[in-house]
Amino acid sequence: MSTRSLQGSLQVLANPYSRGAVVFNSTPYTQFYMQQQQKEQAKDEALDKYFMNWDKSINPAGMRHIETQDLLTLTNENKVFYFKNKKSIKNPSLDNGAAYNEWSSRSQSAMGLISQSKELADRGKIINAAIIQAKQKGLPLTDKVVEDLKAFDKSVKSKDWRDFNINNLDFQPKQFDPTRFTKDIFSDIKLSDKLESEVKKPETMQILQTWTSSIDKANLPLIKQRASAAYYSNKSVKFEVDMYLNDANKYQELNKVFKDKFKTDIKNGEDMATALALSLSPIGKPFEKVVDDWVARSSYSNAKQDARARIIASGKGGQSTDAEIGNIFDEIDSPKELQGGYKISKGQVLKDNQPYSGDIYISKDFIPAQMYSALKAMGTDGGAILASKGFTATVEGGIIEYLTDKRLGKISRSFMQNAQKKLDTEPAKGAKMGFGKGTSGTMQSPKSIRYTDNGVTYNIPEKEVGDFLKSKPKAKIQK
């Protein structure tokens, strides 16, 4: 090989671009660029995914329901902010990190809301458990606590929300029981009853009496001592009394009661408790009693008996008028109240001291024996009479119209009137059961006993003596 040829060869190797056309291979550089672009795109997509889905990584479970809507509002607002500022958020160098810091602050607020709401929910469970236990004991919340809990139950984002300290959970005592309070103080203290007035009720042969109760002054210190003890030992009493102390109208009202008995004004809770006890007691308050008018009843009974005796003795029999002979229905009496609160006085049926209309059951014990004698005189089966335990009475306006028994049937007033006439005209056949009959068979009025009480004379049928003496225990037999 010549020197020239070698030189040419070296020149070509030394500078491949020195002469002729050359093709540049850019494939490695393109691939590198594309790889870099893919990496940037992937990074950008990853950032988008992170920023857009950050809320899915938080756990709202255990939050109070009231805050969940606020959390949703915060996350939606943060997404809107991201879309508007995502270039700066993903590349903080564009605005020195201002957008990223704002987005981060918003995210922290949402996370803080979740944490705070969960904490309040846990505290709410403790509060609710305490309230349930108190309710089971009959202890209501104070008004102040109720208002504080209303504020606590609002969302923490609300301007009206207030935190609640469990240590401030306060309950009212059990509801004040005035009956128990009065009973504890006056249980063994006797009151004196005084009759103030009487109003006679001729239609029912009863007397409406008005009474008042009073107390011996010697018992006042004991009443005050017990009321004071209740004030300090019973929370419900203290709560009630303190309300009256702070109520000007109630204070004035109870101060009159206290001053009437102790000649001084109420000064403290002990005095107010004493005044409250006195005001709840029957002391000085009028009350009514309805008692039998024994004078009227005695006169009525005697008049009926005398009329029948005269009719029987005269032999007038069936010619007697209904007014003269009366009706045995009108002699039915119940010395004690019947079941249901009914009372029968001389045939008139009352409930709550008013004439009654309807059906009631009357035991055989309250039916005059003369009625069974009259039924027997009409031919009623004696076995059925003995088997009868009582009657269902049909009453209209307080008057017994019918007596019904499943064995004896339905007995009307008119039937009983005829039965009485039949009994009165039936010739005596030795001793027999019937109105006006003695054991010898001679005609006589039912036996009665005269009593005197406070100068008043009462002629009481023998069967009514027990009831009479219950109402007039000091009455004495007139000799």
| pTM for the predicted model, two decimal places | 0.40
**Does the pLDDT at position 444 exceed 50?**
no
Q: Do 431 and 412 touch, CB atoms closer than 8 A?
A: no
Q: Do 285 and 306 touch, CB atoms closer than 8 A?
A: no
Q: Do 117 and 64 touch, CB atoms closer than 8 A?
A: yes
**pLDDT higher at 18 or 267:** 267
Q: Do 90 and 44 touch, CB atoms closer than 8 A?
A: yes
Q: Do 160 and 136 touch, CB atoms closer than 8 A?
A: no
Q: For the chain, what is the mean pLDDT?
A: 76
Q: Do 329 and 413 touch, CB atoms closer than 8 A?
A: yes
Q: Is 64 left (phi over 0), alpha (psi -120 to 50) or beta?
A: beta
The encoded tokens of residue 122 equal 């846990």
Q: Do 294 and 206 touch, CB atoms closer than 8 A?
A: no
170-228 residue pLDDT tens: 666 677 889 889 999 998 898 888 889 999 888 777 888 999 998 899 999 999 999 99
Domain boundaries, the chain: 44-168, 178-289, 293-438, 447-479
Q: Do 429 and 439 touch, CB atoms closer than 8 A?
A: no
Question: What pLDDT, on a 0 to 100 scale, did the predictor assign at position 1?
Answer: 42
Q: Do 257 and 285 touch, CB atoms closer than 8 A?
A: no
Question: What pLDDT, on a 0 to 100 scale, did the predictor assign at position 321?
Answer: 52
Mean pLDDT, to the nearest integer, of 329-346?
82
Mean pLDDT, to the nearest integer, of 92-114?
86
Burial of 478 (0-12, 13-18, 19+ CB in 10 A): exposed
